[in-house]
Structure 1
């Protein structure tokens, strides 16, 4: 299944994409697409529904992030051997783990906002893993049983904040709108091999990233098992698994995002995102 969320920001409803590419409304069956509904039993119930009997949603309806109420948004750094090489870094002996704040999450086609003072906002197409079953000290052999599905993630990053301002990477990774998720969550039965998916990203029509999950160093079963040693993974948590080469920081000379540009990115079988890049508004929104 291709599951999704649609509607205005903060008021999204659950839906699915039928075989003809039509969005269907699931809100008569579940209240939202969040952790409680991502277990194998719940997904099996949704799979038994006849999409043709579900209400049709207009094609121009906004898509929200494909998972609601995300508890943890965990990212893996330098997890593609060719990306590590372009940044001049060595492949780490254990996964590099950092966080994106859940306030960074936005819809797959929402605007990406360049933070105030930013000169080095960058892009990273990534494969996202959505947890469907609680995982604590799970064995690698059983780890995929804890995965509900996969999605596209743009791990938008401010490189100066991340690398030149001391401390951890997190301050350059979790700015508002730096975590577009979707367009849909594709359940594991539709992705036979998540380690053999083409992935790409373009800025204003120029393709910068053109890679594959084949060059992922630490693969998904290992990552789920590894992370579950240090934290309990809960249904609805998202793991972003790293990016292939072609990021702006790796260009010679480096290239960074500017207001007015457009990003398009996708992962094979998981859909496409399109984001306009905008400057942070001069006046902050009222609380």
Structure 2
């Protein structure tokens, strides 16, 4: 009981798999917790674990100064909080959304007298509250809110503040997830190539892990080149060579009866970069192809 007196009380709206994992972690750490979920039955187990269950979202918001949202989408946030007095509340939105939604929701909250921080969760529900699992949350928006509640926000996982632009948590979240899916695409293609051959997936797996780990240098290398604008210094495998070699990848896929649609977009992008100006781009590495992805003006300051 004594611990509860010194732990920040908070409200959590949304008890899906992630919300429930968050709730249990805060409860286990001794934080007085008020919960609400549109389907009330999902709160029953948490009530048995010490959570106070609010009958309405308005009641839940009124209960505490710190209100965390973990709902289906941004529209759900708007409909859930519609008409509720948010004056003086600190809103932490862990609902998955886009950078534009984060910025819009921050302005919406400010108009209603609330401070706002958007969050992007880089963890699965099973990683929440398990420090060794390495999960964390990106936060952006009100620095004052983040600093004030940092200890509470760090209970479920690491807390990484990425700027006062409310859209930057979602931007970081989606950037990392996009890279993840690109990696998954390449791995999926590799396994498809060996299907039906006398090559066991379990034998290929350690080779894939080793090779992808060795290629990890590209992350920092690309960042340096995009910053400097120099795509030609100390290039090991130039764009001309890589475009020529890409034909082997496509012919092998055809021979194996594998659809190459998971890798052709990147190969096509390299070829487009080379063909735009062979004399200028042949000696580059592949990083220059990234500049072709920004097809129209956007928020980016560098204007890739």
Q: TM-score, normalised by structure 1?
A: 0.22
Larger Cα-atom Rg: 2
Greater strand proportion: 1
Q: TM-score, normalised by structure 2?
A: 0.21
Greater helix proportion: 2
